[in-house]
Amino acid sequence: MPSVGGVCHRAVMAAKIQVRGIELRYLLTLYVYRFGTTTVSELVNMLDHKGFDTDGRASKAVSDALRWEVRRGRLSHLGRGCYGLGERLPRGTEHRMLLREKALLSLIAGHNEECF
């Protein structure tokens, strides 16, 4: 009689999805809008926890992406390595951000399938 709950023979993928450009900016902006004032190191940790990776040094990539969003008025620079909500986030832009975030998270979920 076969046993229930046998051993999983598929390896769980530990590879991270690389994000850069608009995808990175959207993920970071949405995080700040959800959780408020945050630091670059917190954002780097969030990306790592969610299964994302950046090109090169993560803190530099995050800082560069945040600087772009500050210029667009979506975020504000509050001090060294600290960012908060900006003046505006248009609804259409927010909608596009949410759609892209959903697609990225589903891509991550597909990479991290576990055995049941």
| pLDDT value for 82 | 97
Q: Which of 42, 44, 67 is nearest to 57 (CA)?
A: 44
Non-local (6+) Cβ contacts of 93 within 8 A are 74
What is residue 111's predicted lDDT score, i.e. its pLDDT? 63
Q: Examine the pLDDT at 13 and tell me if it is beyond 60.
A: no
Residue ranges and CATH numbers for the domains of the chain are 17-109 (1.10.10.10)
Q: What is the pLDDT of residues 39-97, one digit of tens each?
A: 999 999 999 999 999 988 999 999 999 999 999 999 999 999 999 999 999 999 999 99
Section 24-43 average pLDDT: 96
Q: What would the two tokens of residue 67 be?
A: 């600087």
Predicted pLDDT at 110: 80
- Is the pTM of the predicted complex or chain greater than 0.85? no
**Residue that wins the pLDDT comparison between 9 and 15:** 15
Highest mean pLDDT among 6-20, 78-92, 99-113: 78-92
* pLDDT for the residue 109: 82
Q: Which residue has the tokens 């190191």?
A: 41
Matching residue, tokens 């992406």: 65
The rounded distance, in Å, linking the Cα atoms of 97 and 95 is 5
The H or E element containing residue 78 is strand 75-79
